[in-house]
Structure 1
Amino acid sequence: MIVNGKPTNHSGQGRFWGNLLMTAVCFLLFLGCLYAMGWWSLESVWIPGGIAMVLAVLTYLIPQQLLGRSDSVDHEAIHVEATGSHRAGH
């Protein structure tokens, strides 16, 4: 990620507890999906299948789309005028 015109070392640096929490949430959603699939039978397809589908989509949607990408650029910070004047020849 680029902040103030300079790349940061690592986008997840200093965010251990937030990363751990989101990993736990997504893992629990995935386990819920597997549990719902355990109730799937030929007599009851739609309710366990629907629950499993929703939980599986959330498991992959949260990290991919909602949390954002690690290589994204902060467009407002990158276009900020640099402090100090750097003119050619001075």
Structure 2
Amino acid sequence: MIVNGKPKNHSGQGHFWGNLLMTVVCFLIFAGCVYAMGWWSLEDVWIPGGIAMVLAVLAYLIPQQLLGRSDSVDHEAIHVEDPNAHHASH
């Protein structure tokens, strides 16, 4: 994340228990997807396939989109003027 024009430490730094909890939750969702695929057969395709598809999408969507990204920009904080900055005029 960039704040006041400078890169900030990793956004997950200092949040060990929250990071561990979300890792376990996403891993369990993915394990549920793999388990649902074990019930897939030629006679029974739609229910296990649908469950596996939903769980697979959730297992990748939650960390990628819902938890945020560490390289995102705080648009409000990036435009704050630093009183110590010296602007060179061209």
- Does the CA contact (< 8 Å) of 2:3 and 2:77 recur in 1? yes
What residue is the counterpart of 1:50 in the other structure? 50
CA distance, structure 2, for counterparts of residue 6 and residue 85 of structure 1: 12
Letter of the structure 2 residue corresponding to residue 32 of structure 1: G
The alpha-carbon deviation at position 48 of structure 1 amounts to: 0.4
Q: Matched residue of 2:27: which SS?
A: helix
- Structure 1 distance, partners of 2:15, 2:85, is 35
The letter for the 2-side match of 1:74 is: D
Gaps of 5+ in 2: none
Q: Work out the CA distance in 2 between the residues paired with 1:14 and 1:62.
A: 20
TM-score (norm 2): 0.85
Counterpart secondary structure, 1:31: helix
Identity, in percent, stands at 85
Question: How many residues were matched structurally?
Answer: 88
TM-score w.r.t. length of structure 1: 0.85
Partner of 2:10: 10
**Alpha-carbon displacement from aligned partner over 1:23-74 (angstroms, at most 9, x marks no partner):** 1111000010011111111111100000000000111111111112211111
